[in-house]
Structure formats: C-alpha cells, structure tokens
Amino acid sequence: MTAPLLPGEASLGVMGGGQLGRMFVHAAQSLGFRTVVLDPDADSPAGLIAHQHIRADYLDAVALGELARQCQAITTEFENVPAQALQQLAQTRVVAPAAAAVAICQDRAAEKAHFAASAVACAPYAVIASEADLLAVSDDLLPGILKTATMGYDGKGQVRVRSRSELVDAWAQLKQVRCVLEQMLPLALEISVISARNAQGEIVQFPVQQNLHIDGVLAVTQVPAPGVSAELQAQALAAAARIAESMQYVGVLCVEFFVLQDGRLIVNEMAPRPHNSGHYTMNACDLSQFDLQVRAMAGLPLTQPRLHSPTVMLNLLGDLWFSPTATDVERTPAWDQVLALPGTHLHLYGKASARPGRKMGHLNITAATSEQAESSARQAAALLGLASDW
C-alpha cells in the first residue's frame, strides 16, 4: 500500500484553472498542501490563487514535465483535459482520476456502454457515426435528443428532434460528427449523487441531490432531496457506487440520474470531478466535495461526510450582472441585501468579467429545516431576479 501524501510536505497539481480548480486549490491549501495549476489562461481563477501557475497548453510536454516534477499527485477539474496528457503524467506521478476513467466520461457512447456493464439502466439510444447509422435509427427512439458524443456540456451540443427529418437536419447542424441519439423519456425530476473513492477501494457518498436545470444549465440544488423516496435514494447511491467501482475510479465522481414519471431511475451522465450540484457541501456538510477530492488523490482517510444543515444552492450566471432593460451596462448584484438573509453563503469565482450564461458563482443557503432554507432561497432568488417557481 502506497504511503499517503501528508499535508505540509507534498504538492498537489490540477489540470485546469476554472472555478472547480479554484475550489480544489482552496481545499488543498487549507490542509497545508502546496498547489500548482496548469492552465493556458493567465487570468484563470485557480491560477490566480495557487502557489504556482504554469501557463501552457494541456499537451505542452515541457509544461507537463514541470508539473510532474513539482507535484506528487495530480487531478483534473474538467473532463475534456486530453487523456494523453494524463497518461504522460501517470508515468511518474499519481493521477486521479486515471486517464482511462476520464476517457470514458469524455465519450457519451463509451459512457453508456459502461453504464450497461455496471448494470445501471440508461435511456434507449443509438450511436450515429455515418449515413448508414442515421438510416438505421429505430422509430422507437423518436422523439429524442441528439447529442454530440464528445465535448458537450451544460446543454451544448444537443438538439431535440421529433421526426426523422428533424433528426437529419440536426445531425447536419452538428456537422455530422459522431453523435448519440437518446429516446426522450417522461421525466419527473433530476437528481445526482457525488461519490469519493480511493485507491484502496473505499467509497463514501454525499446525500442524493435534487436538481433543477433551466436551458440545460443547473439552476437549483436541494438537499435533502424533497421529491425522492428513501428507497429511490438508496437505489441511486448503490448505482453510483457500482459505476465508480467498475472503473476502479479514484477521486470524486458525480453521476446524474433521471427519475421518470413512472418512478423508475435512469442514469443520465457522469462527470469525473466535483460537480456544480455538489457545491452545497461547502457549507452544509462537515467535509466538502473538494475536501474529499484532496483526500482521495493524496491517499488520506475517506471519512463519511455528514450533512449538518438542510440546504439550497442557487447557481449564479453572468446574466445577473446585467439589467434586463440595458444588457450592455454591467452592474453589481445586490449582494448586501442577499447576505442580510439568514444562512446565506456567497461564493464568487474570481472571474475577470461577466457575460450571459457564464458561471460566476453560487449561493448556498443553509437552515435548521428544509422549509427555512427554501424560504430564504426564494427570497434571495427574488432579490437577484432569478426564477423562484421551483
């Protein structure tokens, strides 16, 4: 068994300098680890606060060598880091999650095959990589959602199709790249599970999170999940654990599920990293998802996280920085009024400028009861001009 990397002695690296990297760096630094970020952006949120920022492309061999020289373990903050870069780093350093697991999450077709191998049901689907595949699509899959097999996130690279003619047009719109067509199912709600697993096979999990998406982007997360039975939550936790174990996954993994109107649980997709829906853990749990990311990659003990406060998380997009009537004039949201509400915890990501749709931060609202957390969250949403009809 490999000895753990100890706080105060080791350095930890992260590929990617966005907000997830920034929150990872905060968690690592709070334990006393030195941190190094590799990201090409000179103003990356994580690079601005790390001990060192290596400004280079993710495939820059010299930069990767420098990252490996300085760090004993390396993680990634987004799934589209080139797998070959992770493979190069893994020759001499601990890389968690491993390139093979990240590669599965990068490809929707490979991801769905992995779900099947893990005995977890997903929506009926077909892979479309050629005209022949397009012609062979079963009528049963329509209406459906056509998704690019790679590089899609937050609703990007997706087109809803109701007929074969719309499917043909959508594939052309997506430049005829390899795609996955998923049958559209009657959804009741969306949930997610965040697990942390170490190299010894130990796994711990946060409570099931109930999520609301608007235009394909997460808007609200509630924990405990108000619309999910204890039995269904147990099914989701067990399914997420099987998915992680069958990849021999090391790190933090988020698995998203659909709950159908008939009560069935269907897996949607997964992310090989901390997830937007887990940001509530920073204030509502005794360990955050980023704390467990650090522990898993460093080989430190994984203790079961405890939810100590019911919570609601509101995602804060760049639209809040602009008036609905004057979209070219930037403004500062009314943070003073929001922070006057009980149990509010504001997290801004240090991004240099706001733009519509850009993730700028999140707001966690904790309380003694779910009802109190929801009440304060609705008040905060009203102050910010967010939808509050959830």
244 and 376 together in one domain: yes
Q: What is the CATH number of the domain that holds 19?
A: 3.40.50.20
Number of domains in the chain: 3
Four-residue CA torsion sign, 123, 158, 207, 203: positive
Residues with Cβ < 8 Å from 52, sequence gap 6 or more?
Answer: 35, 36, 37, 70
Residue 114 lies in a domain: no
Mark whether 169 and 192 lie in a shared domain.
no
Which residue among 183, 206, 221 closes a domain?
A: 183
Domain ranges, residue 87? 11-95
2 within a domain of the structure (yes/no): no
Answer yes or no: do 165 and 306 share one domain.
no
| 294 and 218 in a common domain | yes
Residue 316 lies in a domain: yes
Write out the chain's pLDDT in tens, 390 residues. 578 999 999 999 999 999 999 999 999 999 999 999 999 999 999 999 999 999 999 999 999 999 999 999 999 998 889 988 999 999 999 999 999 999 999 999 999 999 999 999 999 999 999 999 999 999 999 999 999 998 766 667 889 999 999 999 999 999 999 999 999 999 999 999 999 999 999 999 999 999 999 988 999 999 999 999 999 999 999 999 999 999 999 999 999 999 999 999 999 999 999 999 999 999 999 999 999 999 999 999 999 999 999 999 999 999 999 987 766 788 999 999 999 999 999 999 999 899 999 999 999 999 999 999 999 999 999 999 998 878
DSSP for 91-160? TTSEESS-HHHHHHHH-HHHHHHHHHHTT--B--EEEE-SHHHHHT--GGG-SEEEEESSS--TTTTEEE
Q: Would you say residue 250 lies in a domain?
A: yes
Query: 341 and 215 in one domain?
Result: yes
Same domain? For 60 and 22 the reply is: yes
Q: Is residue 389 part of a domain?
A: no
Residue 132 placed within a domain = yes
161 and 284 fall within a common domain: no
118 within some domain: no
Single residue among 141, 164, 183 that ends a domain in this structure: 183
- Looking at the fold, whether 212 and 146 belong to one and the same domain comes out as no
Quick one: 215 and 242 in the same domain? yes
Q: For residue 370, is it within any domain?
A: yes
Q: Are residues 71 and 163 in the same domain?
A: no
157 in the same domain as 137: yes
Q: What CATH number is associated with residue 154?
A: 3.30.1490.20
Please tell me whether residues 195 and 319 are part of one structural domain: yes
Neighbouring residues of 332: CB distance < 8 A, sequence distance ≥ 6 = 321
- We report the CATH number of the domain holding residue 352 as 3.30.470.20
Instruction: Tell me the helix, strand and coil percentages in the chain, rounded to 5.
Output: 30, 30, 40
Instruction: Give pTM, 2 decimals.
Output: 0.95
